[in-house]
Structure 1
Amino acid sequence: MKLIIAIVQDDYSTKVIKSLMTKKYRTTKLSSTGGFLKSGNTTLLIGVEDEKVDDVIKAIEEECKGKKVNKGKEEINIGGANIFILNMEDFKKI
């Protein structure tokens, strides 16, 4: 079993969650703030069986598109998602 931690921009969170729910994946949503741009993010916690990891990542990729923003004098690319995949020994729903 795996715990997927996906950090997405707030702009994409509703679409990502809806896509995951459509595919029957449950998520826990946490508000977070990025350190570089100091903008709002959403951190999603998703527990899945090992063979479902690629499907979850694909659903996130489909909804998180990059974009360019001005940061001071620079134009930078932001968007997408940061995804961490952790081994999970056990999961219990009470």
Structure 2
Amino acid sequence: MKLVLAIIHDEDAHKLMTALNKSNFQVTKLASTGGFLRVGNTTMLVGVEEDKLDQVLKIINDKCQTKKQMTVANQPYTTTPEGYIPYPIEVTAGGATVFVVDIEQFHKF
């Protein structure tokens, strides 16, 4: 058995969870926050038998595509009292960061 941990953009959470449930996969959804953009993420936990792992990964890949978006970066600027001048930058957001972990035991009570 495997545990799939998928960290995804909040905007993709509903469609991913729906697609996994339609394919008979049980999902646990956790709210999380990204460190770089400091925006909401969702972490999905999916326990899956090894022979179904590729199916789960395909669903994640299909539902969680990357996209470009604008955000504000703070550039240090020493002559201003605040110390920073915000300026817009384009970043790649979305997609999925996926970890697959071997599960030694599984119990459901």
TM-score by length of 1: 0.95
d(CA) in 2 for partners of 1:71 and 1:20?
Answer: 30
**Structure 1 SS opposite 2:69:** strand
By percentage of residues, which structure has more strand? 2
d(CA) in 1 for partners of 2:13 and 2:71?
Answer: 22
Unaligned runs of 5+ in 1: none
Structure-2 residue corresponding to 1:79: 94
Of structures 1 and 2, the larger Rg is shown by: 2
d(CA) in 2 for partners of 1:79 and 1:9?
Answer: 5
Alignment of 1:1-94 (within 5 A): 1-72=1-72, 73-94=88-109
More relative contact order, 1 or 2 (CA 8 Å, 6+ apart): 1
Supply the AA of the counterpart residue of 2:101: L
Alignment deviations for residues 38-92 of structure 1 (CA, whole Å, 9 cap, x no partner): 0001101100011111100100111112111113332111111000000000111
Supply the AA of the counterpart residue of 1:84: F
**Structure 1 SS opposite 2:35:** coil
Unaligned runs of 5+ in 2: 73-87
Supply the AA of the counterpart residue of 1:41: N
| RMSD over aligned Cα atoms | 0.8
Alignment deviations for residues 9-62 of structure 1 (CA, whole Å, 9 cap, x no partner): 110000000000000000001000000000001101100011111100100111
TM-score by length of 2: 0.83
Q: How many residues align?
A: 94
Q: How much identity, in percent, do the aligned residues show?
A: 44
